[in-house]
Amino acid sequence: MKNKLLAGIGVVMLFFALLTVAFADKPIDLLVNGQFIKTDVPPQSVDGRVLVPVRSLAEALGAEVKWNDNTKTVLISAPKLYSLQEQVKLLQAELAPKTPREAAEKWAKGVKERNGALQYAVLSPELKEQSFADYESYGWVTGMSSPWVECYEITKETKTGEDTWEYEIKFESATSTGPAGSSVDKVVVKQYNQNWYVAQVFDENRITSQLEQQVKDFLGKKYGQHYDLVETDVSPVLQKITDGQVEAEFMTKVTLVPVYKTPGDWPVQQGKIKFREENRDKLSPDQIEKVEANIAFWHKELQEYTGKPGEANECLQITTGLFWHGKIKADTVKFCYADPDGKFLPVKEEDWSSFKTAEELVNQGYEEMRQLVGQ
């Protein structure tokens, strides 16, 4: 039973190890963690798959390989890996914070010392799962050598629930030439059984900057097809962060100039004019009069601001999920706009003409005239 368990551990280790097989016509080389491995039987390519001697590969990764002739079974075990896993588990248990403040303190200490293992040890189970790949990619060393964190201080401590606390931690940075500014992280700590762990880490200013960019990108997409954007102002009004989600409101002002030089250049007008020209011979005098009147009305309206700068002002609400380190999940971003009564309604791009292409607007103008004359 033990061998089967260790064999399972060995298989998991083999799966996640950095394995590179360098292909050439002949021979195929085997590299494990960047080291060339000599095998008694050379690797082979068979039906699009590379077959590698299991003993050479497993032993290169520190595992043991045994053959059971009676059951015709290859047993792979990794006792050193199992021992290391148990050691890490016991160390993390010893480091488990007993109070919410201790969790915040230990995490901040890990940041100051660039000790990713210490930071990871005081993270919640959910955050451990989310952050493991990131810490591993850093080699468990976080931050930068310059500027470095000179010191930190818990500046605010708030109980936000029965088993939840929120801390503001100010980090002072420095370089060889002196102070290099400061930053403030918010750390949410929650209770898990008898211990306390960091459940969320974020810098509100960095989150706000990300949201501002999302809003600017949205406005660019909304107006950029039909206007030259002279200036885009985005001002945060409200921001709430709870349980890995952020909701924020922004007042926006876009100074823009239509790209169309004459009223007839506007795509919807083009569509109306196209309908008139293509259907003139099929329309009655009354129908032609209706079409001409509509085109003339909108020609006068569009003349008022064609080629002239204008402003578009609106209040937007944005919601999105957050990764454990405060980066927004771009694929979860949703926008709402404030109606005249101040109620936020979901943005549906298909209902807004500004999101439509010129071709779609030409077709829209054509269809409006077709409905006007009752065709």
Domains assigned to the chain: 2-82 (no CATH), 96-201 (3.10.450.50), 206-372 (no CATH)
The pLDDT, as a whole number, for residue 141 is 96
Residue 165 β-bridge partners: 159, 189
Could you give the CA distance from residue 34 to residue 100 in angstroms, rounded to a whole number? 42
The pLDDT, as a whole number, for residue 181 is 93
Amino acid type, 222:
K
What are the CA-CA distances from residue 319 to residues 169, 170, 188, 327, 336 (Å)? 25, 26, 20, 13, 9
What is the rounded radius of gyration, in angstroms, for the C-alpha atoms of the chain?
A: 32
Query: For the packed helices 285-303 and 358-372, what is the interaxial angle rounded to 10 degrees?
Result: 140
The pLDDT, as a whole number, for residue 35 is 85
The pLDDT, as a whole number, for residue 153 is 97
What are the CA-CA distances from residue 211 to residues 201, 205, 235, 248 (Å)? 17, 10, 11, 8
Tokens of 13: 């280790």
Q: Average pLDDT by consecutive 10-residue portion of the chain (375 residues)?
A: 43 43 65 84 87 85 87 86 83 92 97 96 94 93 94 96 95 95 93 95 92 97 96 96 91 96 96 96 94 96 91 96 89 95 94 94 97 90
The pLDDT, as a whole number, for residue 156 is 96
Could you give the CA distance from residue 244 to residue 199 in angstroms, rounded to a whole number? 9
Query: What pTM, to 2 d.p., does this model score?
Result: 0.69
Could you give the CA distance from residue 356 to residue 363 in angstroms, rounded to a whole number? 11
Could you give the CA distance from residue 285 to residue 296 in angstroms, rounded to a whole number? 16
CA-wise closest residue to 186 among 198, 174, 195: 198
The pLDDT, as a whole number, for residue 4 is 42
Q: How many residues does the chain have?
A: 375
What are the CA-CA distances from residue 100 to residues 78, 110, 282 (Å)? 37, 16, 80
